[in-house]
Amino acid sequence: MAIRGSSSATANKKSYRVELQNDDGTDRKEPLLGFPSNSDWILYASYFDRTFVRDALAYELWRDMGYYAPRTRYVELFINTSADATAPSHYAGLYVLIEKIKRAKSRVNIARLRPSDTNEPAVTGGYLLKKDRFKQGDRGFQTPRGIAMYYAEPKGREINARQELWLTNYINKMEDVLFSEQFRDPSTGYVKYLDTDSFVDYHWIVEVSRNADALWVSQYFHLDRGGKLKAGPIWDWDLSFGNTQFEQSFNTEGWRWTGIRGEHYLWYTRLFEDIEFLQRYVDRWSELRRSVFATSNVLAKVDRLADEIRTAQARNYARWPSLKKTMSGTNAHDEPVLLATHTAHVDWLKNWITARLSWIDSQDFQAPHIHITSEAGVVPLTVQLAGDGGKIYYTVDGSDPRASGGTLSANAMEATNSIIVSPGATVRARIRGEFNLWSAPLTSTPQPASGLLKASH
């Protein structure tokens, strides 16, 4: 067991890296607390997050979005220095047991790259990369536009010259294509090299939580054999959900990306110049807001996590009496509020999340609404589409009124007044705004009814 972290290593309560070993020093894989077997683990002190919730919450949300994130479990740690392992003097406090990010079938599930894998297709994966502060022993490369990447797996001492050459050529080619005039081409542009959905989703979880570290440090990427570069897994989410004054990240209003400088946001700046990427970003918010990012869903997760440690947190703060004290002498880690109880901090977090989600809603280009305006039971149906921000276009065959490039589909019709719809027809509608940017879609199959028709968006 060894102390881990950079800024967190300066805290009184330390986080630890745990590596299980056999007597001969080789790795020993064990299923700690029911997790899939592995030899590498993290005991996270959560010293800068007094709720103990933020990391576990973010990882759970990321998993719900369809990706791998480290599993977590709360534990109370005793550091044994004598025969009586659970003596009060050995109590180290409440910790979060976290899986370390590494390649494994139960973690980042990418192909194992062996030293002999030096030709295609074997040499194409899998690779795990990180963009982070330089640490002693790190090896990596710099892209043509100055983005430093470090090898996570294979580790810098393990990757051979031919694998390194293939990987750097791939990343550099992707970046060159991304900044070329043909970068939007659906066959030969950046989509040939980069997994769009993962980059969209990574950006959204950063914005929802307004993570102060994300996009410039603690960022991982992975590339499976024969696949495309994907964003993730996410990592290091303690300074999120309003938990720091750095870059005004405690505010529920404002975009996190505006505070990212230099080379760290170059890829996203270019991606958002592609109207298809931007539209996917808009549409994805609508999807996530009805499911993973539904306010009731996120708050229920906070309550459940807080309930798990209701008694343990009291013992932790008896050991580390820091609830009403600043954790750090620098503004980078000072929280925006100093509250007297763990419950008060959890309530503050829930209020922050509610306000943050509402603010993003107010910025997004919302889908139109649909009403049945005819009398109950009358067919065909008289339907009204309503919304703000531009003209509403619709189809009645379920096809998208938006065509590639943001143009108008040949099947689309403008909803200037009430429209007549046969029962069972699928209405799909969007609001077309400026610069060919469309709202998220509404999709509905109206049935005879009165009043507001509940529909999917």
Residue among 244, 353, 240, 340 at smallest CA distance from 303: 353
Taking each helix axis as running N to C, give the angle between helix 295-308 and helix 342-363, from 0 to 180 degrees, rounded to the nearest 10: 160
Rounded CA-CA distance 429/401 in Å is: 7
Q: Taking the CB of residue 295, how many other CB atoms lie within 10 A of it?
A: 15
pLDDT of residue 407: 95
Better pLDDT: 23 or 169: 169
Contact, 113 vs 205, CB < 8 A?
no
| Domain ranges (residues) in the chain | 122-272, 369-452
pLDDT of residue 82: 64
Average pLDDT, the chain: 91
% of the chain with per-residue pLDDT over 70:
92
Q: Which two tokens stand for residue 265?
A: 């946001």
pLDDT of residue 261: 85
Name the pLDDT band for 455 (thresholds 50, 70, 90): very low
Mean pLDDT for 328-332 is 41
Task: Tell me which DSSP letter residue 212 carries.
Answer: S
Name the pLDDT band for 373 (thresholds 50, 70, 90): confident
Q: Which two tokens stand for residue 253?
A: 């209003």
Rounded CA-CA distance 100/40 in Å is: 6
pLDDT of residue 319: 93
pLDDT tens digits along 155-164: 999 999 999 9
pLDDT of residue 134: 87
What are the angstrom distances between the C-alpha of 211 and each of 66, 228, 235, 294, 401?
Answer: 20, 25, 10, 19, 35
Q: Model's pTM, two decimal places?
A: 0.93
Q: Which of 77-86, 217-226, 386-395, 402-411 has the lowest mean pLDDT?
A: 77-86
Q: Which two tokens stand for residue 31?
A: 């299923």
pLDDT of residue 334: 64
Name the pLDDT band for 60 (thresholds 50, 70, 90): very high
Q: Which two tokens stand for residue 437?
A: 């940017």
Contact, 456 vs 429, CB < 8 A?
no
Q: Which two tokens stand for residue 98?
A: 């976290």
Residue 294 has pLDDT above 90, yes or no: yes
Mean pLDDT for 264-293 is 97
pLDDT tens digits along 34-43: 999 999 999 9
Contact, 73 vs 365, CB < 8 A?
no
Task: Tell me which DSSP letter residue 108 carries.
Answer: B
Residue 456 has pLDDT above 80, yes or no: no
Residue 312 has pLDDT above 50, yes or no: yes
pLDDT of residue 20: 93
Residue 450 has pLDDT above 70, yes or no: no
Mean pLDDT for 1-5 is 70
pLDDT of residue 115: 96
Mean pLDDT for 111-117 is 97
Rounded CA-CA distance 163/3 in Å is: 32
Q: Which residues pair with 442 in a beta bridge?
A: 429
Q: In the sheet where 427-432 sits, what is the strand order?
A: 413-414, 391-395, 427-432, 442-444
pLDDT tens digits along 209-266: 999 999 999 999 999 999 999 999 999 999 999 998 887 788 999 999 998 988 999 9
Rounded CA-CA distance 183/320 in Å is: 53
pLDDT of residue 10: 64
pLDDT tens digits along 124-153: 999 999 999 888 889 999 999 999 999 999
Rounded CA-CA distance 180/318 in Å is: 58
pLDDT of residue 9: 59
pLDDT of residue 448: 77
Contact, 315 vs 78, CB < 8 A?
no
Contact, 106 vs 36, CB < 8 A?
yes
Rounded CA-CA distance 181/402 in Å is: 24
pLDDT of residue 449: 57
Q: Which amino acid is at 163?
A: Q
Q: Which amino acid is at 350?
A: K
Mean pLDDT for 343-348 is 96
Q: What are phi and psi of 89, to 5 degrees?
A: -70, -15
